[in-house]
Amino acid sequence: KAGVTQTPRYLIKTRGQQVTLSCSPISGHRSVSWYQQTPGQGLQFLFEYFSETQRNKGNFPGRFSGRQFSNSRSEMNVSTLELGDSALYLCASSANRGGNSPLHFGNGTRLTVT
């Protein structure tokens, strides 16, 4: 089985621009979660999608949004980029929701905002 695939691997954007990150989950996994990881703040939960519906959302401004398609692939979008959005964005998929199913992570998208 192919693992979780995140594209692109690296991205450099300037302040004010917007960005779209993509995540292809493991085949058959219906839950996709997104995390932001920075050295200072650790792993911060962004949102979770299951069956094309957002089920949970972390404490992030409305500039951060996402969606899930019928094939479970997911995208997240960040508009009006700020310097503080520079981070590693991780996507994870699991067969079911909740903590009784392990998360399978992609290798992330490293976003740098200049």
Partner 1 sequence: SQQGEEDPQALSIQEGENATMNCSYKTSINNLQWYRQNSGRGLVHLILIRSNEREKHSGRLRVTLDTSKKSSSLLITASRAADTASYFCATDGPDSNYQLIWGAGTKLIIKP
Rule CB under 8 A: say whether 104 interacts with partner 1. yes
- Min CB(40)–partner 1 separation in Å: 10
Instruction: Spell out, one character per residue from 26 to 65, where the chain touches partner 1: x when CB under 8 A holds, - when not.
Output: -------x--------xx-x--x------xx---------
CA 76 to chain centroid: 6
DSSP the chain: ----EEE-SEEEE-TT--EEEEEEPPTT--EEEEEEEETTTEEEEEEEEETTEEEEE-S--TTEEEEE-TTS-EEEEE-S--GGG-EEEEEEEESSSSTTS--EE---EEEEE-
- Using CB under 8 A as the binding rule, the residues of this chain from 59 to 98 that contact partner 1 are 88, 90, 92, 97-98
Smallest distance, partner 1 to C-beta of residue 43, A: 5
Of the pair 15, 57, the CB lying nearest partner 1 is at 57
The nearer residue to partner 1, 43 or 83, going by C-beta atoms, is: 43
Q: With the C-alpha atoms ordered 44, 101, 97, 18, is the resulting torsion angle positive or negative?
A: positive
Residues in contact with partner 1 by the rule CB under 8 A: 4, 33, 42-43, 45, 48, 55-56, 88, 90, 92, 97-100, 102-108, 110
